[in-house]
Amino acid sequence: MRALALLGPRALTKQVEQFRSGDAEMVVLESPAPDAVARALEARPDVALVFGGDGTLNRHLAALVGSETPVIVVPTGSGNDFARATGTPTIDDAKKVWLAALQGLTKIVNADLGCIDYGNGAGARFFSCCTNIGLDADGARRTDQFPNWVKQNGGYFLGGLMALLRYQPLRMQILCEGNADIDETSWFVSVSNTPTYGGELKIAPQASIVDGFLDVTFASRKNFSRGELAWHFPKILAGEHIKLPQLAITRTRQITVESEAMPIYADGECFGKTPCRIIVRPNALRVVQMG
């Protein structure tokens, strides 16, 4: 077995040492640049161990998808929602999958990814968990300024509460395949591949990484005052918000968002600004799971 270990900024040497085995040859890259990862993947490792959170995985998605290298995500970041969705919510869980892989007792699952295309020649970019535009993106921007220990302990929820106090909703034009078009002042639109984002905020508890769809959650200004939105906001922790009739929730293969330039955040990273088209890429990433 040949493994490539890709370490994020918060991964520790002692965590990597737990995965060393006499049955595997392991190449370790610490906070590698994209070109270094691409070169390492040319050697065709049997598996890539990604030590990090959703942001670390995101930085390497294009290379991992292109090389078709099976992935085990070892959750050492501040947001580990893709690891949670693929069955490795803890480091111990990831280690169990790794040990099973060494014994040939695992399977490969082809997971969906989302893809954001700006249509301006800049190229498209994958995301694994959730894309946020509007209030959610403003909350992610604020969270990004927190120290890591805050991010790991409800930081995304706190950032969202801060955004609720300051964010001013803007007009969006949303074209969602198979659904009625939307053109109105909006609080946010979230496009989810995984059930959770931002450290287990259950924005789309019905979402699946193997169904070939993205799940859209939309809140308009006409349906929610700021106070009403704040009142219902804690329900995201339990996924109870999806019962609110004021929310528009749907599934789609692609969605286009037109607006004045608004920040786009995905997997906790700033991706750019609107307008954009968001599409699902079915079966894009090969993920190692227990057999």
Give yes or no for residue 12 having a pLDDT over 70: yes
Q: What is the pTM of this model?
A: 0.92
> Measured between alpha carbons, how far is 65 from 70 in angstroms, rounded to an integer?
9
What is residue 276's predicted lDDT score, i.e. its pLDDT?
Answer: 93
Average the pLDDT over 62-75 and give the result.
97
CA distances from 288 to 94, 104, 106, 238 (A): 10, 11, 7, 28
| Secondary-structure breakdown of the chain: helix, strand, coil percentages, each rounded to the nearest 5 | 30, 35, 35
CA angle 82, 111, 252 (to 5 degrees): 95
> Measured between alpha carbons, how far is 190 from 204 in angstroms, rounded to an integer?
9
DSSP 55-82: HHHHHHHHHHHHHT--EEEEE-SS--HH
Per residue in 73-86, pLDDT (tens digit) is 999 998 899 999 99
The two structure tokens encoding residue 187: 């609080």
**Selection from 117, 114, 159, 122 nearest residue 137 by Cα:** 159
Give yes or no for residue 27 having a pLDDT over 90: yes
Q: To which residue do tokens 């090969």 refer?
A: 286
Contacts of 156 (CB under 8 A, 6+ apart): 79, 139, 140, 143, 197, 198, 199, 201, 268
Which has the minimum average pLDDT: 83-87, 110-114, 196-200? 196-200
Is there a contact between 143 and 152 (Cβ–Cβ < 8 Å)?
no
Give the end of a domain, one of 112, 139, 169: 112
Which has the minimum average pLDDT: 36-45, 118-127, 248-257? 118-127
Phi and psi at residue 84, in whole multiples of 5°? -60, -40
Clarify whether residues 72 and 153 are in a common domain: no
Cis peptide before 275 (omega within 30 of 0): yes
For 261-282, b where at least 16 C-beta lie within 10 A, e where not — what string? ebbbbbbbeebbebbbbbbbbe
Per residue in 198-219, pLDDT (tens digit) is 888 899 999 999 999 999 999 9
What is residue 145's predicted lDDT score, i.e. its pLDDT?
Answer: 76
Clarify whether residues 130 and 12 are in a common domain: no
Asked if the structure places residue 291 within a domain, the reply is no
Say which CATH number the domain at 233 has. 2.60.200.40
Clarify whether residues 21 and 98 are in a common domain: yes
Residue 229: helix, strand or coil by DSSP? Answer: helix
Residue range(s) defining the domain that contains residue 29: 2-112
Q: How confident is the model at residue 121 (pLDDT cuts 50, 70, 90)?
A: low
pLDDT, greater one: 187 or 144: 187
Clarify whether residues 69 and 205 are in a common domain: no
Give the end of a domain, one of 58, 92, 112: 112
The two structure tokens encoding residue 3: 């493994």
Clarify whether residues 97 and 128 are in a common domain: no
pLDDT, greater one: 70 or 154: 70
Say which CATH number the domain at 31 has. 3.40.50.10330
Q: Is 182 exposed, middle or buried (0-12, 13-18, 19+ CB in 10 A)?
A: middle
Name the domain count of the chain. 2
Q: How many residues does the chain have?
A: 291
Is there a contact between 172 and 186 (Cβ–Cβ < 8 Å)?
yes
Asked if the structure places residue 119 within a domain, the reply is no
Average the pLDDT over 189-204 and give the result.
92
Clarify whether residues 108 and 144 are in a common domain: no
Asked if the structure places residue 118 within a domain, the reply is no
Is there a contact between 16 and 28 (Cβ–Cβ < 8 Å)?
yes
Asked if the structure places residue 288 within a domain, the reply is no
Give yes or no for residue 270 having a pLDDT over 80: yes
What is residue 111's predicted lDDT score, i.e. its pLDDT?
Answer: 98
Average the pLDDT over 246-263 and give the result.
93
Asked if the structure places residue 227 within a domain, the reply is yes
Clarify whether residues 63 and 173 are in a common domain: no
Clarify whether residues 153 and 243 are in a common domain: yes
Clarify whether residues 248 and 136 are in a common domain: yes
Give the end of a domain, one of 112, 144, 171: 112
User: Taking all residues of the chain, what is their mean pLDDT, rounded to a whole number?
Assistant: 92
What is residue 68's predicted lDDT score, i.e. its pLDDT?
Answer: 97
Question: Which contiguous run of DSSP H or E holds residue 135?
Answer: helix 135-143
Clarify whether residues 95 and 129 are in a common domain: no
Asked if the structure places residue 173 within a domain, the reply is yes
Which has the minimum average pLDDT: 4-18, 77-91, 131-145, 257-271? 131-145
